[in-house]
């Protein structure tokens, strides 16, 4: 059984977010929470991934007919995709305009049982 959680239009670059998702891909949920709690002070992406992972675990518990512990779950898929880029204009000398690009990202986390091999 699987449960999915998505976070869309996060105001954080996809390249930075992928650094965090690569660390927790394939790990158990308890192990991933331990890694992300250490990364809180260094990466803003760790906070975003942890909140999405909490949502995926809650979705799994809601969907599951029997009670399940977080230690039994595993991250079966996690990926970050690029979203729209907000474009702003910064005025420069002699009437020129330089573009400022503010990237956004989409994050998807899929958790599943260790026992179910689908």
pLDDT in tens, 12-42: 999 999 999 999 999 999 999 999 999 999 9
Distances (CA, A) of 96 to 89, 93, 99: 10, 6, 10
- Asked if 43 and 16 touch (Cβ cutoff 8 Å), the reply is yes
Position 116 confidence tier, pLDDT thresholds 50, 70, 90: low
Please report, rounded to a whole number, the percentage of residues in the chain having pLDDT higher than 70: 96
pTM: 0.88
pLDDT of residue 118: 46
Q: Tell me the domain boundaries of the chain.
A: 2-113
Position 91 confidence tier, pLDDT thresholds 50, 70, 90: very high
- The domain made up of 2-113 has a fold known as Ribosomal Protein L22; Chain A (3.90.470)
């Amino acid at each position: 059984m699987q449960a999915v959680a998505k976070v869309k239009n996060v105001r954080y670059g996809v390249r930075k977010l992928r650094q965090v998702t690569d660390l927790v891909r394939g790990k158990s949920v308890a192990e991933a929470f331990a890694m992300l709690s250490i990364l809180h002070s260094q990466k803003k992406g760790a906070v975003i991934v942890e909140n999405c992972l909490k949502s995926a675990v809650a979705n799994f518990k809601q969907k599951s007919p029997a009670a399940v512990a977080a230690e039994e779950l595993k991250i079966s898929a996690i990926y970050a995709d690029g979203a729209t880029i907000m474009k702003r204009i910064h005025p420069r000398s002699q009437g020129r305009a330089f573009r400022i690009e503010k990237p956004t990202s989409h994050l998807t986390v899929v958790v599943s049982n260790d026992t179910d091999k689908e």
